[in-house]
Amino acid sequence: MYGLPAGFDTSRLLGGTLRQVSFSENTVHLSFTNDFSITIESSFSHSRHGRLSDVERSRVPVRESQLMQLLGESVDSAHASADGTLRLGFSNGHLLACFDDTPLYEAYRIRLGDEEIIV
């Protein structure tokens, strides 16, 4: 809905180790060690093979997931696209993408310390 801010610095996400994955009826929450978190409210893709093109998007609410395989892994790469997509690469070779694909509602939120970015 809102997209990522122009010039969003994805390097702030690097090095964080995923310490918690939690699910609610309307969200998937990912909490990292370097004081950042992502709360997904729309859709995302998770690839264990390093290629997101081979994976279907998951939508919240989630009925099953392999996101737990990211626990204990650190963010090695991060990329923000003009369309609001955030892609994270993890130390185990997995990829995660959060999509800004809902025009009426927030798609995901990034919290960096005291700052919150609503996409």
**H/E run at residue 18:** strand 18-23
Q: Which CATH number fits the domain that encloses residue 43?
A: 3.20.190
pLDDT at residue 52 in the model = 79
Structural domain containing residue 31: 10-118
Tell whether 102 is covered by a domain.
yes
Residue 28, exposed/middle/buried by CB under 10 A (0-12, 13-18, 19+)?
Answer: buried
> Which residues of the chain, if any, have pLDDT below 50?
none
pTM of the model: 0.93
Is residue 106 a part of any domain in this protein?
yes
Per-residue pLDDT, 1: 61
Q: pLDDT at position 53, please?
A: 75
For tokens 């709360």, what's the residue?
39
Please check whether residue 19 lies inside any domain of the structure: yes
3 within some domain: no
